[in-house]
Amino acid sequence: MIKPRLWITRRLSEATIERADRDYDLVVNFEDLPGTADQIIAASAEFDAIIPCHSELFSANVVAKLNPRLKIVANHSVGVDHCDLDALKSRNIAVTNTPDVLSDATAEIAMLLMLGAARHAISGDQIVRDGLWTNWSPSFMVGKQLTGACLGIIGMGRVGRALAVKARGFEMEIHYHNRTQLDDNDACGAIFHNTIESLLEVSEFLSLHCPATQQTNKMMNKTRFEMLPKGAVIVNTARGGLIDENALLEAIISGQISAAGLDCFQVEPGGNPNFAKYKNIFMLPHIGSATSKTRDAMGFRALDNLDAFFAGKVPADLL
């Protein structure tokens, strides 16, 4: 039996590549650089399937030029805002993603960012590292305590719920806004808000976990930052486009926002250089799902979807 030909666009986990090589006629981009539009278009004539990451862009213009040989794009990601789903559907190209398996890892990073931002992790590390820790006083490095504070979550999907469970360990009071109200079991005891505005009013800490869409683009803007309690902390492990970064910077400078923890930015890679001089902005380079366990699980989930598709079944994560 002839194996389907598969292109993996980035260096995935060793376990993923080993399994893919067993079951497919495999080519891997071991240079580990983002696939360009020209490379994606050329690959569509050579491969039956592609496993891309968020770094490969399947815009309407790219999709229009794809060869009919390509049958499925099995994303190694949960978010699919790099894919024009309507365009791919119009070309009868199946699209899948990898939900569920990265929720805990991303929620862990959200907790790290929340704690690091609230407790001056950047300043504290630099003071010790640079040999500047020469005194102490009761007013030294005083931060914002999570225990007992109100946490607002926008987007109570898998990651939002995982964060809620972890935040319960800090005895935080959980509130959330979601497109639909969850049942009591899924809500993890969190309090539902019909509107973002009512959620913001009570959120001493705010964590974003919604997808990037036209409706959510720059949803956290100047007006909404001003709705938060004075000195609130904001965390974003979802997509950089959810935040108006100029408005965030203004809120940081004014003290309306006391600190921010960011794992994603409007421009990636690179981030926002204007944030660099503010020690109360704790930043990571979009590593929410970056654990060995999760990377294996994401790769295997993408391959599970491919296996189902080429067996004539409906992939579990078909979009």
In a domain, 178, yes or no: yes
Q: CA angle 106-292-74, nearest 5°?
A: 75
In a domain, 182, yes or no: yes
- Whether residues 36 and 175 fall in one domain: no
Evaluate if residue 53 carries a pLDDT over 80. Answer: yes
Q: What is the pLDDT of residue 300?
A: 98
What amino acid positions are annotated as catalytic residues?
239, 268, 286
- Whether residues 185 and 156 fall in one domain: yes
- Whether residues 52 and 199 fall in one domain: no
- Whether residues 182 and 155 fall in one domain: yes
In a domain, 319, yes or no: no
- Whether residues 94 and 119 fall in one domain: no
pTM over 0.85: yes
Q: Give the number of domains in the chain.
A: 2
- Whether residues 33 and 166 fall in one domain: no
Q: Tell me phi and psi for residue 131, to 5 degrees.
A: 70, 30
In a domain, 198, yes or no: yes
**SS3 annotation, the chain:** CCCCEEEECCCCCHHHHHHHHHHCEEEECCCCCCCCHHHHHHHCCCCCEEECCCCCCECHHHHHCCCCCCCEEECCCCCCCCECHHHHHHCCCEEECCCCCCHHHHHHHHHHHHHHHHCCHHHHHHHHHCCCCCCCCCCCCCCCCCCCCEEEEECCCHHHHHHHHHHHCCCCEEEEECCCCCCHHHHCCCEEECCHHHHHHHCCEEEECCCCCCCCCCCECHHHHHHCCCCEEEEECCCHHHECHHHHHHHHHHCCEEEEEECCCCCCCCCCHHHCCCCCEEECCCCCCCCHHHHHHHHHHHHHHHHHHHCCCCCCCEC
Evaluate if residue 1 carries a pLDDT over 80. Answer: no
Domain that holds residue 124: 103-283
- Whether residues 214 and 224 fall in one domain: yes
- Whether residues 51 and 148 fall in one domain: no
The residue whose two tokens read 């994401």 is 298
Tens of pLDDT, residue by residue over 235-293, are 999 999 999 999 999 999 999 999 999 999 999 999 999 999 999 999 999 999 999 99
- Whether residues 123 and 254 fall in one domain: yes
Looking at every residue in the chain, the average pLDDT score rounds to: 97
In a domain, 315, yes or no: no
In a domain, 317, yes or no: no
In a domain, 316, yes or no: no
Tens of pLDDT, residue by residue over 2-13, are 999 999 999 999
Residue 25, domain CATH: 3.40.50.720
- Whether residues 94 and 42 fall in one domain: yes
- Whether residues 260 and 143 fall in one domain: yes
Evaluate if residue 185 carries a pLDDT over 90. Answer: no
- Whether residues 155 and 233 fall in one domain: yes
Tens of pLDDT, residue by residue over 110-159, are 999 999 999 999 999 999 999 999 999 999 999 999 999 999 999 999 99
In a domain, 51, yes or no: yes
Q: What is the pLDDT of residue 212?
A: 86
